[in-house]
Each structure stands twice: as structure tokens, then as C-alpha cells.
Amino acid sequence: MFVQLIHLLESKENGLSLAEISRAMDAQPSAVMSMIYLLVQKGKLIEIGPDGKYCSTCGYESQCNVLATRGKRYMVAPIS
Amino acid sequence: MTITSTPFFQLDYGGKIEREIAHLIALFEESNFNTGPYSRRWLAIKLLEKDADILERVKGIEGGEKIIEIAHERAGHVESMLGEDFDLLTADRRYGYINGVVRQSLNRPLVDRVTLTDRIDNIVTHKWLGLPLFFAVMYIVFRLVIDVSAPFLDWIDAVIHGPISSWLSSILSFLSAPAWLSSLIVNGIIAGVGGVLVFVPGLLILYFFLALLEDSGYMSRAAFVMDCFMRIIGLHGKSFIPMILGFGCAVPAVYATRTIASRRDRILTALLVPLMSCSARLPVYVVFGLAFFGSRAGTVIWIMYALGIAVAMLAGMVFTRTLLKPDVSSAFVLELPPYRQPALKSVLIHMWENTSGFVRKAGTTILMVSIVMWFLLNIPWGVTNKQDSLFGRFSTAIAPVFAPLGFGNWETGGALVSGFMAKEIVVSSMSQIYLGNGDSQTAEPTTLAEDAVFITKGFVDATVSSAKILVSIIPGVDLVGDQAQTENTGLSSALQQRFTTLSAVSLLVFVLLYVPCVATLGAIKHEFGTSWAVTSAIYQTVVAWIIAFMVYQGGLLLGFG
């Protein structure tokens, strides 16, 4: 499942939203979310905003209306 | 996939991870490590996952530091092979299982999204096509193993019995070693251990393809396809996974039955696992296959593997109706992982680990048995006719038991008894008996440079021949013509004089089915007790004798003798 998820996101330059991932994987969003959390914690995935910017580096993450409306997107963490 | 109720659930994390879990559990038992309120399996998984909270608690227990160190080492080993963190690998399995359960439990609107994996699965797990495809894959693998490794087998045989024997003889005569010591080293150790080491290339190729099939995701499909057959014998597809491991070695396969929930299923699987043709039997098949069937050796070996599966099914049906009646219906939820390109590193590590185990065995068990065999073949001291030796007399006494099977000579009887230690010893014993009295010093002396040229040229020739054979697998391409026939080794020639084709087949059947090696019986005893180990030894020997008898006597009646 994780390999499938990472492969899916590897092919998406701008990442995918939770809904898009759950549709692509044919799984419930709640199930996919816990997998995404784990991968984010492990540093395999990063969260980005709808505009493609890293949310975690933005001081206004908690107040961002765009983020609240359109949700986070996820992409594979770039290899440093 | 089918789901039924089960009294006890234990998630199968797959071969590599399960091996490490079993290793840690065994370590807990060996070191009497007090796991406190935690189950051993759960604690082993958490230690391998490097769960911070558990690590802290275990540190406080006596012997905990050592356990943690070993757990880290084993987890690191798996991580280096699979290229992912251990906790991610186990989480992946859990999510895979949950996904499998959800897919079977929920009816969702049909979505028109078919992945490549789905398309392949439609064929390889097809109700009617799945099984023939599985056997076809295994047939191709065994053909490749035999055909591609044959030139290397000839090369190693020539090197061991040529330059290496010659060098050792020269060194021993330079050191003025006594004749008996020279004979022990050249006729005992070189003939015995060397006779087994020639099969290393074949095993490398076998393990390469088995690793390829496992890592690509096909082996899970094989277990799924075999599910319907396993149900006939009162088991389910999950039991086929240890059986597939049994193609490599029966010992880890017996321990792998721990992933099966029901004790009755575990015992039945462990009784059937030794019928899967392990790699130790491969040298016996290759020697006899090439000696009596030439280019068709691959087909014969494939038949042996298929026969092992067929007999396992029959034996399972008998056990299910007698000693091991089904208790409750067990669950079989198997996650079919998406197909993926196997990682070369993982495949190579898998291949090396298994083959190095074989080489280690050649350097320990087989070496020891070869030395003991040499002494038994030379006691009373100075005996000239091997049949008059201690080994010869014992073998002559038991040989009549095998006479109805077509191989009632003392040499074969003795080799089969020694094969109880490890099956490849059958070949090393025959090498010692048939080739051990060769006088290597009669060969023309060669210089070191000539030997180096001989070895290098032989290797290049073997590589070119194997490459041609490999390319010739492509339909319509034939680069080898009639040259594919391998040369007769000394042992092959000796066997051709003492066996007919029919008696050779009968012997192969007997070797496939008779008593498991001592290590396998030890594993069964450790897991299920002495009575089941004894049951396994007796029933397999009886079945082997009966089927070999049917093959030989049936063949004679049909005029194949």
C-alpha cells in the first residue's frame, strides 16, 4: 500500500490532494489519511498548499483561507 | 480471497520479516528472556520496529540491552534488503491486510479503473489458467537452472578434479605426507566436498529466480492460485507459503508454519513441507538427470518437483481423514501486493544468503561426513575392496531392502543412509565410493601457468556456452544446436554403468520422498514434539519405498526395464 502510494505521488509533479489519492487508490480517505500521516512523519512525503508552497514553512498556516477551502496536497519529499 | 471466522488471528508479514520475527522469538526462548506482560511475537515486532517506548521498557529488563542490539541488527538487515524502514514495512503489511478485508467486505460501485496489476492478475490468478501458468513458470525456471548452469557445472568439476586435486597431491608429496593422509584429502575430502560444491552455480541460478519471483509479487499469486488445491487437503493457501520456502530449505519452512493460526494446520503443513523438493536434493537430480536424460534433464527435474507437490496433496488428504481431522475453518486473507520491478540488491542478497548457507554446510556437515565416510570405507585398515570395509558391510546388509526398487547395490544403499544427515551427501558419498579410488597422481603434471590458462579458458567457455543457451530460450533462436549436451563427468559415467534409466528414475523418486534430513526432523521435533518428528520420518520413508516400488515394478511390467 505504501509503495503504491509513493509510486502514485512520484508521478505527480504538483502532488495530489487527499480526495485524489483516495480515489486513485480506491480506498476510504480516512484510511489513506493515516498512511499519509505516517509517511509525512517518516519524511517520505511533504505537505504542500494548493499553490504548491510548503505549508510547514509558512507562519500563516493556521489562518490560511485557501488551505482551509482547498485542503493540503501531498508530494514525495525531494531527495536532499 | 475468502474470509471465514477464525478463533485466533496473526498477520503474516511475509517471508523476510517473518524470518526475523521467528529469529527473535527463538532468541527470547534460548536466553530465557522474560517478556513480562507482552506476547513474544508482539514484543519481537515492536523491537524490530524500534518502538521508542518499548525500547525504553526492555532496557530495564535483564538481558534487554543485548536483545535490543540483536533486534536492531536484524531490522537493519531487512531494511538494507528491502530498502525501507522496518516500521514502514510492517505498517504496509497491516494496511495491505486491512485493504484486503475492506475490499472483500464492502460492495462499492464498480469503478472503471483497471491497473496493470489488475490486468496481469486477471490472467495469472485466473480460475483455469492460473495453475497451468504457475507450473509453466516453474518449468521454465528449472529448465534455466539446469541448462544455464550445466557448462559451469562441468567447469567446476574439471577444476576440482583437475588442477585443485593435482595441486593438493603435489603439496602433500612435497611435504612427504603419509599415503593415508593423501588418500583422505584427495579421495575423501576432495571427492566428497568437491562432488557437492560443483552444484553451487545451479543453486545460485535457482535462488536468483526464486528471489525474482518472490520480489516481483508473483509468489503471493502462486499461493492464491494453490488455495483451491490446498482446500482439498484440508488446508488453505497460507500453508502453501511455507511449502514454497520448502523449495529452498525445509528447516526455515517448518519454522515459517508459525504464521498459521491453527495448531492442527501447522502440524499438517510441517508434515508436508519436507515433500517439497529442497535445494539439497537438486545435486542428486542434476547428477542423475544429466547422466540418464541429457538435455531433457530439466524436464525430469521439473517432474520431480511436481511429483513432490502431488504426493504432498495425497498425503494431506490421508492425514486429514485420519490423524489430523479438520477442527475449524481457518481464515485466508492474502494481500496481493502490486507487481513491481524486483530490486537487484535484494535479489542478490537473497541469492547469496541461501547459497552461502549451502557452501557453509559443505564446509561443515558434508566435510565431517566425508571424513567419517572415508574412515568407514577404509576400516579394517588396508582393505582393498570397499565392499569389505565397515561401510561396505553395513551397506551390503541393508541393500536387499532396496532391491525391489531397482537399486539393490551396496553403494546406493550406503549413500542413501548417509543422506539422512543432508540430502546432498548422497552425491558426495557416491563420489567417494565411485571416484574416491582414482589416482590423481597418474595425471600428466602441469605447470601453474598451464593450470591458470586451463581454469580461465574453461570459465570463459562456460560463460559463452551459458550465454548462448540463455539466448536460445527465445523462440526461433538456436545458438547451441546439438552442442547443448553436457559432457559426462566421472560420476555420470560410473552411474551409467550401475543404473538403468528406470532404476535411476526410481532412485530419484525415493530421494525426493524418503526420510527428511536430520536438521528438518530437529525443527519438527522442536516445534511439535518427538512423536511428530518420528511420524514424519516413518511415513515419508514408507511412502518413498511404496512409490519407488510402483515406479520400478510398473516400469518393468510396461517393458521399460
Q: What SS3 class is residue A74?
A: strand
For residue B123, CA distances in Å to B2, B139, B186, B225 come to 19, 18, 54, 11
Using the structure block, give the residue that is written with the C-alpha cell 530437529: B522
Other CB atoms closer than 10 Å to residue A34's CB: what's the count? 12
Q: How confident is the model at residue B502 (pLDDT cuts 50, 70, 90)?
A: very high
Q: pLDDT tens digit string along B20-47?
A: 888 888 888 888 888 878 888 899 999 9
CA–CA separation, B244 vs B276, rounded Å? 8
Q: Which pLDDT value is given to residue B397? A: 92
Compare CB distances from A38 to B91, B113, B338 and report the shortest one's residue. Answer: B91
Minimal C-alpha gap between A1 and chain B (Å): 6
Q: What is the mean pLDDT of residues B66-84?
A: 87
Q: Does A53 touch chain B (CB under 8 A)?
A: no
Compare CB distances from A3 to B92, B98, B99 and report the shortest one's residue. Answer: B92
pLDDT of residue A20 exceeding 80, the answer is: yes
Q: Which residues of chain B approach chain A closer than 8 Å at the C-beta?
A: 84-85, 87-88, 91-92, 95-96, 98-99, 102, 108, 111, 113, 337-338, 340
Tell me the residue type at B24. Answer: L
For B17-21, B175-179, B258-262, B264-268, which range has the lowest pLDDT when averaged over its residues?
B258-262
The chain B residue lying nearest A33, using CA atoms, is: B95
HSE, side-chain direction, 13 A CA sphere, residue B346: 20
Q: Which pLDDT value is given to residue B1? A: 44
The top-level CATH class assigned to B15-106 is mainly alpha
Chain B residues in contact with A27 by the CB 8 A cut-off are: 99, 102
Compare CB distances from B99 to A1, A7, A39 and report the shortest one's residue. Answer: A1
Test B99 with A38 for CB contact under 8 angstroms: no
Percentage of chain B lying above the pLDDT 70 cut:
89
Q: Domain containing A57: what range?
A: 2-76
Using the structure block, give the residue that is written with the C-alpha cell 460501485: B109
Q: Which pLDDT value is given to residue B140? A: 83
Chain A residues in contact with B96 by the CB 8 A cut-off are: 1
pLDDT of residue B166 exceeding 90, the answer is: no
CA–CA separation, B422 vs A10, rounded Å? 48
Instruction: Give the cell for residue B1.
Output: 480471497
Q: What DSSP string runs through A1-17?
A: -HHHHHHHHHT-TT-EE
Q: pLDDT tens digit string along B446-466?
A: 788 888 888 999 899 988 888
Q: Which pLDDT value is given to residue B88? A: 85
B323 burial (CB, 10 Å; 0-12 / 13-18 / 19+) is: middle
pLDDT of residue B110 exceeding 70, the answer is: no
pLDDT of residue B323 exceeding 70, the answer is: yes
Test A2 with B95 for CB contact under 8 angstroms: yes
CA–CA separation, B145 vs B156, rounded Å? 16
Q: What is the mean pLDDT of residues B319-340?
A: 71
CA–CA separation, B326 vs B319, rounded Å? 10
The chain A residue lying nearest B108, using CA atoms, is: A26
Q: How confident is the model at residue B294 (pLDDT cuts 50, 70, 90)?
A: confident
Q: Which pLDDT value is given to residue B519? A: 82
Chain A residues in contact with B84 by the CB 8 A cut-off are: 2
pLDDT of residue B547 exceeding 90, the answer is: yes
The chain A residue lying nearest B98, using CA atoms, is: A31
Tell me the residue type at B312. Answer: A
Q: How confident is the model at residue B308 (pLDDT cuts 50, 70, 90)?
A: very high
Compare CB distances from A42 to B88, B96, B111 and report the shortest one's residue. Answer: B88
- Total domains in the fold of chain A: 1
**CATH code where residue A72 lies:** 1.10.10
Interhelix angle B490-498/B282-293, rounded to 10 degrees, is 70
Test A3 with B96 for CB contact under 8 angstroms: no
Measure CA B372 to chain center: 25
pTM for the full model? 0.62
Other CB atoms closer than 10 Å to residue B295's CB: what's the count? 17
| Higher pLDDT among residues A66 and B268, named by residue | B268
Chain A residues in contact with B92 by the CB 8 A cut-off are: 1-3
Instruction: Give the cell for residue B539.
Output: 511415513
Q: How confident is the model at residue B440 (pLDDT cuts 50, 70, 90)?
A: very low
Q: What is the mean pLDDT of residues B409-413?
A: 89
Test B88 with A27 for CB contact under 8 angstroms: no
Test A26 with B111 for CB contact under 8 angstroms: yes
Q: What is the mean pLDDT of residues B508-534?
A: 90
Q: How confident is the model at residue B439 (pLDDT cuts 50, 70, 90)?
A: very low
CA–CA separation, B24 vs B46, rounded Å? 11
Cα torsion through B413, B414, B415, B421, rounded to 10: 120
pLDDT of residue B114 exceeding 80, the answer is: no
CB B413 within 8 A of CB B398: yes
Q: Which pLDDT value is given to residue B546? A: 96
Q: pLDDT tens digit string along A33-79?
A: 888 888 888 888 888 876 666 666 666 666 666 666 566 788 888 76
Q: How confident is the model at residue B497 (pLDDT cuts 50, 70, 90)?
A: confident
Q: What is the mean pLDDT of residues B283-311?
A: 87
Q: What is the mean pLDDT of residues B458-487?
A: 71
Minimal C-alpha gap between B92 and chain A (Å): 6
Q: How confident is the model at residue B405 (pLDDT cuts 50, 70, 90)?
A: very high
Domain boundaries, chain B: 15-106, 132-440+490-557
CA–CA separation, B129 vs B13, rounded Å? 28
CA–CA separation, B410 vs B393, rounded Å? 8
For B52-61, B141-150, B311-320, which range has the lowest pLDDT when averaged over its residues?
B141-150
